[in-house]
Amino acid sequence: MRLTAKRRRVAALQTRHDSSNALHCAGCSSHFNLPQSNKLVLLFVLTGLLLLCGAGFVTGAAAREEVQFWSAFSGGQPKTAIDKFVAEFNAAHAELGRVVKLDVPSSQLEQKLLTAVAGNVPPDLCLFNRPMVAAFAFRGAFESWDKHLSALGLSRNDFFESCWDEGLWDGRQYCIPFNTDVRVMFINRRLFRLAGLDPDSAPRTWDELREVSRKLTVRDAAGRLRQTGFVPVGGAFGNTYLPLFAFQMGDDLVDPAGRIRVNSPRCVAATQWTLDFARDYGVDQLMLLQTAGGNDELALFLQEKAAITGDEGYMLSLIRRYKPGLDFSVAPLPWPADGRPATWSGGFGLILPRGRELTPLAVAFTRFLCSREIQLEYGKIADQIPARKDAAADSYFTTDPNWRVFIGQMAYTRSLPVSPLSMKMFYDLIRAQEKTLYGVMTPKAALDWTQDQLDQEWTTLTAYDNRREWSWRGMAWTAMAALCAAAVWRLGRSWRAVRGMKLKRAEAFWGYVMALPAIVGLLGLALGPMLISLMISMCKYDVLSPARWLGIDNYRKLFTGDPLFFLSLWNTLAYTLMAVPTGVIVSLSLALLLNQRSWLRPFWRTVFYMPSIFPIVAGSFLWLWLFNGEYGLINMLLGLVGLERVPWLTSPLWSKPALIIMSLWGVGGGMIIFLAALQTVPAHLYEAAMIDGVNFWQRFRHITLPLISPVVLFVTVIATIGSFQVFTQAYLMTAGGPVDSTLFYVLYLFRRAFQEFHMGYAAAMAWTLFVIIGALTFLQFRLSRGMVNYDTV
Amino acid sequence: MTRYKQSCRRAVAGAPLAWTLAVFAVSLPFLVPLAWLISTAFKPDAKIFSFSLEILPRPATLDHFHRVLREFPFFTYMRNSVIVTALTVIAAVAGTCPVAYSCACLQWPDRRLVFSLLMLTMMLPAQVTMIPVFLIFRQLGWIDTFLPLIVPVFLGNAFFIFLLRQFFLGLPEVLIESARIDGASEPRILVCIVIPQCLPAVLTVALFAGMGAWNDFMGPLIYLMSEKNKTLALGLQSLMGQFSSEWGMLMAGALIMALPATIVFLVAQKYFIQGMSLSGIKG
């Protein structure tokens, strides 16, 4: 209690301190008593324990008899069905254990599953997207079903062959098919009749389809597209049909050697056809119309804005739910006169992630899900064709005229080629189609470009297998150990110096002890990882298999063979060059505007600052809605003043400006900093200037700006660094599109690292980014020399 | 300072109304999006998909909120977000206060080195360390736990340390020195004198940390796998994946997520503004 004796003196000191340092002591209490302080000490000690407890509570291990089952159906009727099946199964097998289901949205499934397998926390079973199976099996992320098939009593004969074979990679069965999503044509009979067409004679060939679509097209007085027939394009427009059209042209997307081939003449012809078809409507008119719903043509059909669409059985659920009175019918998709009848299907299936033993309960659950009864019930609930043939042969499907068309099409259906590249091919084809639509490339050039990308990816996946395996882990430990040794040596040396001191020894001791978290963090989370990152960037590493030493190959490929790297760099640079200056100007202007003595100022300051603390995910939703081409507020306001609507997020020209406008909404942070800086400008300078009759601009230019120039530099540098790391908006709002116009550097890096698991390549990208940001920052400081005034007045 | 205030008062005394009107006009682009968000969340679907500009929805509906809460485990997400945020706040305060104190008020040989390295990490893009840190946490078996989101904050967030240090530097040295002469140990000085003296600063850091954790997207995206561990930001993303054209529902979800953050901000805005101001002045 010796401290109490000094209380008065300290309090006295503090009064002086209060007056001199108003900023720091706003709200400081001028008393502190010991019992409360002891509580604080206790609180501090408890904090660590609490953190550990909290973590323990969260990590709590699962019980042994549980089967962890991930389902990709996280909404709608399919989820309802799976929920029901899991509940039924658990009720019937209560004595054996329990199936625990987790819903992972299919958009996240690939990334989450790969991370889970790599992180050794995989589920026991997973309902997975079939076209992705080969890519995962290739990397060794899945176990094969082969040795369990007899126990399950399942074989190829039980399923549609196309579904079963999608899970076959390298001679082993990795996936047991669950459902299929064969595409057929839906037509709106009411719109057909309105256009004077007979809804019972649906178009059968490509030429007829285009002809009918022309008749179904409706434009308003201003020439705006109000209604379409069939819309053959995907990408920013929705689903892509390109593989389907290629199948119909008689192409299987593979060459005789079994490698993926997307630039065959027939593929080019199919692409050309979609392009010509889209031009019938006008590409920018399509863009505006298509954003109206949720960026997909599906919503257009439901809104009766598209009279024809190609889709799967799930459309029946959607119609029942959103447009119960819709007068529609179903027909096979038309094919070209010189082609063949074909349609396209994928679907989901059960896979076994690596690193888990198949328990009897998991076997029982798999058998249950693949039984005829459950398959049939799933088809009924979810409006999808089951993968099991005898379930699809049930009278439920064979008597209904709509379902008969679906089942009939199963004879013609094809799936994406089974290859580690099939999903990449699918996404790359969407990009290729976008490129042709926006006139960036001809169909031939776009497909050649895609083929080149796919070939390169194949090389990356296979060509380095002869390279030396390289245990980066050993090196990493060595590096970390070396780092720690260096730190210990350095600290030890200083410690000897400290021991020599008499007076300040305790202080120095506590200095080290209290800085310990930061020192550990510096070594373990900054410097160490930087070294590891550098090492990984010299490797091919996908987390699942051992790293292979590449030397500087990743960097070489980055700078010589990766157009997307340069594109993403350019996108980021363009975004930064536009967003940072406008951001600084807007925030400084706001600060100047608010730099007035008024009782309302705190209120306005809050108003302008509020958007910048708005959660970015919620903000992305909001702006996606504001930028909506059809019902978005911004376009409605533009329409009000008689301006043309702008296809904000669906046009490669407008997507960056749109994101910049969104970034301006969050300039409040910069404004606060400027506002604080403006208040340090001494008033007597302004007074002197006013006496000299200086106008506002001169005052700003010659007094304000020089005095706050260090802050301007600071804000610019911070904004540049932040803007170079732009990610979330692009990830959520545009996914990098359209035509890769918002594929920013970090988004591309993330995609490389956590979606394609090219960790080494991504690490090389990260280091390159580090160097670029460092250089830019240096440049900014260098260029601002002579412009920034560090003298204080 | 006072002279400046007076001169300001004189300068605007003539035109407070004009000024207020001007600021109001400028504030519209900042406010209208928020108003539109709230408006859409309460509008029936028929109104959302019509070309009407009305801000006050008539009739207003709670349907979208009902559906969001029914179709999504929103309370699980909310609980996770609250846990992560609370633990992050504790970790930030417990981790950065001693470091900032050590860097601001204690003399030790490597202080400059450690502090400047810390400041350098502020420049380091998170992506450089993202992959190795992921691998390290994986090695520790921390994937799909909250630890990767919390521990890094405890082990020294450079910005928070910088902010606190700025405040601590402002304390009069005699204050600490006299406590030291009285025989108080350094932790005790920190806990009994420095923190109570700089409580607003500590609050500022706590608020920034909490806000960051609540809004964080990249961290949960990388480290959290299962539905039972997802935070609100991540859960909201899956909402978008499935109901891409149901704007009323999406806006309702966004509103639910933004509301707690906004309320905390409005209640404690003084500290946010103080923290922001300081990061620039002495930077």
Kindly state whether residues B100 and B30 are assigned to the same domain.
Answer: no
Chain A interface mutation, best of B53, B121, B129, B223, highest count of A Cβ atoms under 10 Å: B129
Assigned fold of A558-783: MetI-like fold (1.10.3720)
What gap in Å lies between CA A556 and CA A561, rounded to an integer?
8
The model's confidence at residue A370, banded by pLDDT at 50, 70 and 90, is very high
What gap in Å lies between CA A300 and CA A326, rounded to an integer?
13
* Residue B92 lies in domain: 68-281
Give the pLDDT confidence of A408-455 residue by residue, as tens digits: 999 999 999 999 888 889 888 888 888 888 888 999 999 999 999 899
Q: Could you please report the per-residue DSSP string of A686-754?
A: HHHHHHTT--HHHHIIIIIHHHHHHHHHHHHHHHHHHHHT--HHIIIIITT-STTTT--HHHHHHIIII
Task: Centre a 10 Å sphere on the Cβ of residue B264 and count the other Cβ atoms it contains.
Answer: 17
Mean pLDDT of the residues in chain B: 82
Q: Could you please report the per-residue DSSP string of A536-573?
A: HTTEE--SSS--EE-TTHHHHHHHHS-HHHHHHHHHHH
- Of B45, B61, B77, the position where a domain reaches its end is B61
- Of B37, B61, B85, the position where a domain reaches its end is B61
Q: Is A275 helix (H, G, I), strand (E, B) or coil?
A: helix
For the entire predicted model, the pTM comes to 0.82
Instruction: Give the HSE-up count for residue B97: Cα atoms under 13 Å, Cβ half-sphere.
Output: 31
Tell me if chain B has a CB within 8 Å of the CB of A676: yes
Domain spans in chain A, listed from the N-terminal domain onward: 2-22+33-53, 66-180+347-390, 184-344+421-463, 472-545, 558-783
The model's confidence at residue A751, banded by pLDDT at 50, 70 and 90, is confident
Chain B partners within 8 Å of A613 (Cβ): 211, 215, 261-262, 265, 272
State the smallest CA–CA distance between residue B102 and chain A in angstroms: 5
Q: Could you please report the per-residue DSSP string of B124-180?
A: S-HHHHHHHHHHHHHHTT-TTSSHHHHHHHHTT-HHHHHHHHHHHHTS-HHHHHHHH
Kindly state whether residues B153 and B251 are assigned to the same domain.
Answer: yes
A66-180+347-390 maps to CATH 3.40.190.180: no
Chain A 457-486, CB below 8 Å of chain B: which residues? 476
Give the pLDDT confidence of A699-717 residue by residue, as tens digits: 888 888 888 888 888 888 8
Task: Centre a 10 Å sphere on the Cβ of residue A462 and count the other Cβ atoms it contains.
Answer: 10
What kind of architecture, by CATH, is found in domain A184-344+421-463? 3-Layer(aba) Sandwich (3.40)
Angle subtended at Cα A789 by Cα A785 and Cα B1, rounded to the nearest 5 degrees: 160
Please tell me which residue of chain B has the smallest CA distance to A123.
Answer: B226
Kindly state whether residues B35 and B107 are assigned to the same domain.
Answer: no
Closest C-alpha among A358, A768, A37, A587 to residue B188:
A37
Helices (H) and strands (E) in chain B, counts: 17, 0
Q: Is A587 helix (H, G, I), strand (E, B) or coil?
A: helix
Closest C-alpha among B39, B29, B2, B18 to residue B248:
B39
The answer to whether the Cα torsion of A490, A496, A499, A500 is positive or negative is negative
Tell me if chain B has a CB within 8 Å of the CB of A27: yes
Cβ-count burial of B71 within 10 angstroms (0-12 exposed, 13-18 middle, 19+ buried)?
Answer: middle
Kindly state whether residues B13 and B113 are assigned to the same domain.
Answer: no
Please tell me which residue of chain A has the smallest CA distance to B116.
Answer: A522
Angle subtended at Cα A86 by Cα A80 and Cα A89, rounded to the nearest 5 degrees: 140
Give the pLDDT confidence of B190-217 residue by residue, as tens digits: 888 888 888 888 888 898 899 889 988 8
Tell me if chain A has a CB within 8 Å of the CB of B79: no
Would A184-344+421-463 and A558-783 be classified into the same CATH topology?
no
Closest C-alpha among A158, A571, A552 to residue A386:
A158
Given the cut 0.90, state whether the ipTM is greater than it. Answer: no
Tell me if chain B has a CB within 8 Å of the CB of A15: no
Find the DSSP H helices in A421-547. Answer: 422-437, 443-462, 472-500, 505-521, 528-536
Kindly state whether residues B85 and B217 are assigned to the same domain.
Answer: yes
Residue appearing with tokens 């043509």: A297
For residue B241, the model assigns a pLDDT of 64
For residue A36, the model assigns a pLDDT of 47
SS3 content of chain B, % helix, strand, coil (to 5): 80, 0, 20
Using a pLDDT cut of 90, give the percent of chain A over it: 32
Total domains present in chain B: 2
Kindly state whether residues B195 and B255 are assigned to the same domain.
Answer: yes
Question: Does residue B266 have a pLDDT over 90?
Answer: no
Kindly state whether residues B72 and B56 are assigned to the same domain.
Answer: no
Kindly state whether residues B47 and B102 are assigned to the same domain.
Answer: no
Asked if A100 and A359 touch (Cβ cutoff 8 Å), the reply is no
Chain A partners within 8 Å of B196 (Cβ): 28-29, 32, 37, 40
Question: Does residue A61 have a pLDDT over 60?
Answer: no
Kindly state whether residues B96 and B48 are assigned to the same domain.
Answer: no
What gap in Å lies between CA A508 and CA B110, rounded to an integer?
10
Angle separating helix axes A505-521 and B74-105, nearest 10 degrees: 140
For residue A64, the model assigns a pLDDT of 52
- Fill in the amino acid letter for A761: Y
Q: The domain spanning residue B146 has which CATH number? A: 1.10.3720.10
Kindly state whether residues B196 and B78 are assigned to the same domain.
Answer: yes
Q: Could you please report the per-residue DSSP string of B198-233?
A: THHHHHHHHHHHHHHHHH--HHHHHH--SGGG--HH
Q: Where are the beta strands (DSSP E) in A204-274?
A: 218-219, 225-227
